[in-house]
Homo-oligomer: A and B are copies of this chain.
Amino acid sequence: MSDGQATSRRAFLKGTAAAAAGAAAAGAAKAAEGPDPLITEVQEWAQITGDGVDATPYGLPIEYEGDVIRRNVEWLTADTISSINFTPIHALDGTITPQGCAFERHHSGAIALRKEDYRLMINGLVDQPLVFTYEDLERFPRENHVYFCECAANTGMEWAGAQLNGAQFTHGMIHNMEYTGVPLRTLLAEAGVQTEGKWVFVEGADASSNGRSIPIDKALDDVLVAFKANGEALRKEHGYPVRLVVPGWEGNMWVKWLRRVEVMDGPVESREETSKYTDTLEDGTSRKWTWVMDAKSVITSPSPQSPITHGPGPLVITGLAWSGNGAITRVDVSTDGGMNWTQARLGAPGQKMALSRFYLEIDWDGSEMLLQSRAIDESGYVQPTKAQLREVRGLNSIYHNNCIQTWWVRETGEAENVEVS
């Protein structure tokens, strides 16, 4: 297997359609494999008129892409109103996640809350408690940032082995959108944080309320009170009309249908930050306050849901990398289970707390591969192997699994989730 970037791809094209192309272009006799009717004959779609501009006031994907959807795993939870579905990352490219297929996690289901009925209270250790309407929020200076949101449980099933087959299921509790909102620090400044105020407790308007404690330094740093994602209103399932955006930190803190921010002198130690979202170690004790999502990456194609469908020759390996500690600076790819690594190409320079797309173009010789990717962020942190992570964390964890993922790609091009020692 060698780097294919210098290889002319004409060779692999010549054997197939190119012969027909030559024939069609030159009007010559049939090429060896016969002419391609899709080239030589006028097709049906060139003889009809299609849909008018009034057909779909708000569009959905074409029917042929009907499998590129969020999916849930029934046995993971008892009820779908307190469950998760997964972004179809195996079928996406680039970095932006469309809202329509961006994963959801609910604790008591997605509620419908009108802008007119929306209120956000800031209270507690402040000079003046305040309540904001939606319209009030629109009157403050806004910011736009692309950030990833990853559930702390993403890749959680991998602690126990290679249980789920497909990047969508192993790594699909993530999305990456351009958020528009008002910095939380702006609203806190309106209320006036008192000197004893060291934490904020944030909660949502749904039945679960999903309350979480956030240190005041983070709340005054880059946290956004967001009302748009990818330019348009948040979707119902993403917290319409207003959610919290906590860049780089676990998704559970990104409270949806945000209704209250209380300034406090300590953390609440709520259910969602004690019995849940903590890391149970080998000795049975739990490590709390693991907020930052460490550097991580996954190859999205080829992968179990995106097998190689062609023979040897040029192959694009691609995937996603991200870090809650800043920008991704480098991604390496291995085709032999981590023995040798090649630096991949980033689609664009890494941005802080946002997904990076990486590519490695190879000349696949048709033999089996153990595909892995390894992310490195601007702090110098290197994504660990599963073995390295287990040494520190044991086998009792659910959350915060950022280990290197392995796909076993066979000669047929099919891929499978495996563990390598």
For A233, give its contact among B47, B61, B71, B313 (CB under 8 Å). Answer: B61
Is A18 on the interface with B (CB-CB < 8 A)? Answer: yes
Contact B49 A100, beta carbon cutoff 8 Å: no
Q: Which residues of A, 223-252, contact B by the 8 Å Cβ criterion?
A: 227-228, 230-233, 235-237, 240
Contact B119 A59, beta carbon cutoff 8 Å: no
Quick check: which of A141-149, A282-290, A387-395 contacts chain B, the rest being far away? A141-149
Residue of B nearest to A23 (CB): B129
Is A36 on the interface with B (CB-CB < 8 A)? Answer: yes
User: On chain A, which size bracket covers the interface?
Assistant: 35 or more
For A92, give its contact among B85, B129, B232 (CB under 8 Å). Answer: B232
Instruction: Tell me, rounded to whole Å, the shortest Cβ–Cβ distance linking A147 to chain B.
Output: 12
Binary flags per residue of A291-321, CB closer than 8 Å to B gives 1, else 0? 0000000000000000001100111101000
- Chain B residues closer than 8 Å to A359, beta-carbon distance: 141-142
Contact A99 B59, beta carbon cutoff 8 Å: yes
Q: Which residues of A, 133-179, contact B by the 8 Å Cβ criterion?
A: 133, 135-136, 138-144, 178-179
Q: Which residues of A, 47-61, contact B by the 8 Å Cβ criterion?
A: 47-61
Instruction: Tell me, rounded to whole Å, the shortest Cβ–Cβ distance linking A33 to chain B.
Output: 12
A139-B9 contact, Cβ under 8 Å, with A46-B207, A131-B24, A232-B61: yes
Is A83 on the interface with B (CB-CB < 8 A)? Answer: yes
A46 to B118, CA, bound (A): 12
Contact B94 A144, beta carbon cutoff 8 Å: yes
A100 to B98, CA, bound (A): 10
A96 to B229, CA, bound (A): 9
Instruction: Tell me, rounded to whole Å, the shortest Cβ–Cβ distance linking A364 to chain B.
Output: 10
Contact B131 A190, beta carbon cutoff 8 Å: no
- Chain B residues closer than 8 Å to A70, beta-carbon distance: 53, 56-59
Quick check: which of A105-113, A327-335, A369-377, A396-404 contacts chain B, the rest being far away? A105-113
A108 to B48, CA, bound (A): 8
For A22, give its contact among B100, B129, B178, B236 (CB under 8 Å). Answer: B129
Contact A100 B97, beta carbon cutoff 8 Å: no
Residue of B nearest to A145 (CB): B348
**What are 23 A-B residue pairs whose CB atoms fall within 8 Å in the complex?**
A9-B140, A13-B130, A21-B123, A22-B128, A26-B129, A45-B112, A45-B205, A45-B206, A46-B205, A46-B209, A51-B109, A55-B80, A58-B101, A59-B101, A59-B235, A60-B60, A62-B236, A92-B232, A94-B180, A98-B230, A139-B316, A144-B347, A230-B230
Q: Which 7 A-B residue pairings sit nearest by Cβ, starting from the closest?
A: A52-B80, A50-B109, A21-B131, A25-B129, A57-B69, A25-B123, A17-B131
